[in-house]
């Protein structure tokens, strides 16, 4: 064996060169040498000399076996490869299952998760996300066109079109000395209630103070309260007003079948209602102005084709906090834009469930109140509109349920609308596409899926690119157009966008539960000090 000049081998790679001796039995010698050097190769060690002791230690190296047979060299390479793989697996296993420290273990897990994400991102996530981007862009264009259409029409309505008082025949109600109170039609006021402890006195008192002959007005309190204490309080309040000469009726049911729709339906079945021509509906937290009937009833008296007069809501606590301002912005667009446009262009819009007066004959012709959905007000409005009745919105004069209800109603009535022969093709298109599909379905789904799902995911998947016009320009225009209903809150648009993104999740959940949700969940109303407003709804009352 050859000893190096220094006492230690300087490099990890050492080549041992042995002389080739030709022996008679050279094949046997070669095989023995193969075994010897293959053992050296598998251990992957070399020798380290000690100048003092003359003993060599073992260190990694590579052994040259060029003189071996071809079969031996192949076997050596296979064994060497297996040895290296086993060593690498041992190192990986040691790092994965026996970490030296928690940070090292966490980094290893993060690395493995990153590798897994790289493997599934390109073939699976990216194509699916790209499809979602295209769908959301299409929905954004639909919402944009709808908002643009509404914006243009509302400008034309405000600038050029006549107000309802001039488009329809309207004459103020006057006292007739000869006919007396008989000159006024019989009007029924329905006030549905459910455990309204804080506001029942306000709504009952406001209804009893309406400027209308007492003998031509019937006030019906429909109490579905489950709290017997509250029931007793409401009944005593009705008795108190009855003692003052007000024709007020306190009605209760054994069960809450049909919820609000069931209560309104039962209320119309009483014998004393047969004398009434019109019915007004006020929720328990409404405070109508005394002249409400005198301003709205003439539309029904002088225009026999009108079935509904809807007054605009105003809110007593819109300035109470930032959240109430955001809610006001959301609801004002519905009232001041959507309903105004629907009334001006097609004499059709969705009934708000309160603050409106109906012609009882139109309700009966449309099939009456139905409890098949939680939007019984919209259900009745659509069925009456398909019968050819007209609606009037007076601009000067609820969330989860508002999402799942329209979707459920649309599913049940789309064929009735399409096959109806009493309305024009243009009005059918407006009701199906604009009123239902875009406003009640697409608008809610687009807001949630695009802003809360697709855009955040596109950051993690660089293979998918969202165009600027779809991510920035169109959303900005839509947001600006939505502020038309509440111009005084334009400076709060940033907060309103955040509010709408949060609410979009709630509304989208309602859409996905459209087939299952058919139950009223009433939130307790709180008493707010009165302020001047024609029609008032408390903003913080929950609309399920």
Burial code of 237-272, b = ≥16 C-beta within 10 A, e = fewer?
bbeebeeeebbbbbbeeeeeebbbbbbbbbbbeeee
Band of residue 6 on the pLDDT scale cut at 50, 70, 90: very low
Looking at residue 431, what is its pLDDT?
83
pLDDT tens string 100-159: 555 666 777 888 888 888 888 888 899 999 999 999 899 899 989 988 888 888 888 877
In angstroms, the CA 479 to CA 374 distance is: 29
Residue 99 pLDDT greater than 70, yes or no? no
In angstroms, the CA 428 to CA 348 distance is: 11
pLDDT tens string 359-394: 999 999 999 999 888 788 889 999 999 999 999 998
Looking at residue 364, what is its pLDDT?
95
Nearest CA among 279, 409, 432 for reference residue 346: 432
Looking at residue 310, what is its pLDDT?
93
pLDDT tens string 262-279: 999 999 999 999 999 999
Looking at residue 380, what is its pLDDT?
94
Residue 93 pLDDT greater than 50, yes or no? no
In angstroms, the CA 103 to CA 85 distance is: 26
> Where do the domains of the chain lie?
26-97, 143-173+184-512
The residue with greater pLDDT, 201 or 74, is: 201
Cα–Cα distance list, 23 to 296, 510, 514 (Å): 125, 92, 93
Gyration radius of the chain's alpha carbons: 40
Looking at residue 186, what is its pLDDT?
96
Band of residue 543 on the pLDDT scale cut at 50, 70, 90: very low
Looking at residue 521, what is its pLDDT?
43
In angstroms, the CA 282 to CA 448 distance is: 33
Residue 13 pLDDT greater than 90, yes or no? no
Residues with a catalytic annotation lie at: 224, 377
Long-range contacts of 237-242 (CB under 8 A, 24+ apart): 237/200, 237/201, 237/204, 238/204, 241/204, 241/205, 241/208
Band of residue 504 on the pLDDT scale cut at 50, 70, 90: low
pLDDT tens string 441-476: 777 777 777 888 888 888 888 888 888 888 888 888
Q: Evaluate whether 410 touches 437 at the Cβ level (below 8 Å).
A: yes
In angstroms, the CA 190 to CA 521 distance is: 20
Residue 477 pLDDT greater than 90, yes or no? no
Residue 237 pLDDT greater than 90, yes or no? yes
pLDDT tens string 303-358: 999 999 998 877 666 667 777 777 777 777 777 788 888 998 888 988 988 899 99
Helices 400-419 and 376-386: crossing angle in degrees, nearest 10, is 20
The residue with greater pLDDT, 541 or 114, is: 114
Looking at residue 151, what is its pLDDT?
84
Residue 524 pLDDT greater than 50, yes or no? no
Is pTM beyond 0.85? Reply is: no
Q: Phi and psi (nearest 5°) for 209?
A: -95, 10
Looking at residue 386, what is its pLDDT?
92
Band of residue 8 on the pLDDT scale cut at 50, 70, 90: very low
Looking at residue 7, what is its pLDDT?
40
Q: What is the mean pLDDT of residues 193-213?
A: 92
Classify residue 207 by burial, with Cβ atoms within 10 Å: 0-12, 13-18, 19+. buried
Lowest mean pLDDT among 66-70, 81-85, 161-165: 66-70
In angstroms, the CA 36 to CA 233 distance is: 105
User: Could you tell me the two tokens for 149?
Assistant: 């259409």
Band of residue 18 on the pLDDT scale cut at 50, 70, 90: very low
As a CATH number, domain 143-173+184-512 is 3.90.550.10
How long is the chain? 544
């Amino acid at each position: 064996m050859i000893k190096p000049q220094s006492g230690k081998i300087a490099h990890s790679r050492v080549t041992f060169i042995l002389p080739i001796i030709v022996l008679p039995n050279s094949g046997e010698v070669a095989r023995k040498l193969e075994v010897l050097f293959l053992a050296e190769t598998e251990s992957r060690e070399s020798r380290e000399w000690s100048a003092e002791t003359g003993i060599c230690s073992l260190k990694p190296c590579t052994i040259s076996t060029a003189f071996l047979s071809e079969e031996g060299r192949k076997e050596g390479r296979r064994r060497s490869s297996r040895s290296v793989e086993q060593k690498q697996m041992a190192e990986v296993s040691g790092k994965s299952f026996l970490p030296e420290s928690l940070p090292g273990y966490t980094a290893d897990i993060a690395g493995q998760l990153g590798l897994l994400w790289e493997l599934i991102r390109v073939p699976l996530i990216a194509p699916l996300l790209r499809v979602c981007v295209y769908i959301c862009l299409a929905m954004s264009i639909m919402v944009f066109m709808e908002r643009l259409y509404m914006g243009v029409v509302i400008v034309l309505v405000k600038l050029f079109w006549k107000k309802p008082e001039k488009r329809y025949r309207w004459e103020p109600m006057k006292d007739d000395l000869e006919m007396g109170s008989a000159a006024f039609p019989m009007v029924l006021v329905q006030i549905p209630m459910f455990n309204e402890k804080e506001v029942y006195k306000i709504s009952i008192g406001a209804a009893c103070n309406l400027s209308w002959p007492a003998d031509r007005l019937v006030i019906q309190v429909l109490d579905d309260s489950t709290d017997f204490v509250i029931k007793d309080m409401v009944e005593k309040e009705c008795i108190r007003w009855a003692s003052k000469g007000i024709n007020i009726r306190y009605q209760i049911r054994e069960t809450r079948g049909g919820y609000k729709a069931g209560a309104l339906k039962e209320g119309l079945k009483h014998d004393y209602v047969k004398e009434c021509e019109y019915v007004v509906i006020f929720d328990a937290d409404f405070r109508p102005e005394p002249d409400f009937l005198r301003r709205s009833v003439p539309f029904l008296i002088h225009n026999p084709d009108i079935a509904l007069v809807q007054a605009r809501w105003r809110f007593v606590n819109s300035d109470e906090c930032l959240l109430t301002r955001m809610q006001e912005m959301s609801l004002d667009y519905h009232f001041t834009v959507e309903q105004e446009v629907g009334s001006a262009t097609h004499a059709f819009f969705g009934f708000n469930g309160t603050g409106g007066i109906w012609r009882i004959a139109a309700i009966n012709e449309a099939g009456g109140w139905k409890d098949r959905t939680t939007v019984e007000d919209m259900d009745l409005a659509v069925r009456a509109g398909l019968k050819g009745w007209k609606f009037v919105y007076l601009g000067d004069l609820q969330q989860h349920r508002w999402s799942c209800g329209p979707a459920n109603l649309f599913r049940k009535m789309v064929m009735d609308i399409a096959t109806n022969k009493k309305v024009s093709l243009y009005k059918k298109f407006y009701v199906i596409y604009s009123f239902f599909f875009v406003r009640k379905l697409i608008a809610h789904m687009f807001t949630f899926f695009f802003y809360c799902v697709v855009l955040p995911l596109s950051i993690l998947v660089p293979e998918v690119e969202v165009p600027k016009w779809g991510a920035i320009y169109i959303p900005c225009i839509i947001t600006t157009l939505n502020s038309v209903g509440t111009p005084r809150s334009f400076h709060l648009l940033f907060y309103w966008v955040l509010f709408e993104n949060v609410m979009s999740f709630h509304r989208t959940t309602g859409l996905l539960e459209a087939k299952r949700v058919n139950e009223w969940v009433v939130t307790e109303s709180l008493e707010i000090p009165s302020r001047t407003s024609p029609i008032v709804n408390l903003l913080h009352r929950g609309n399920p």
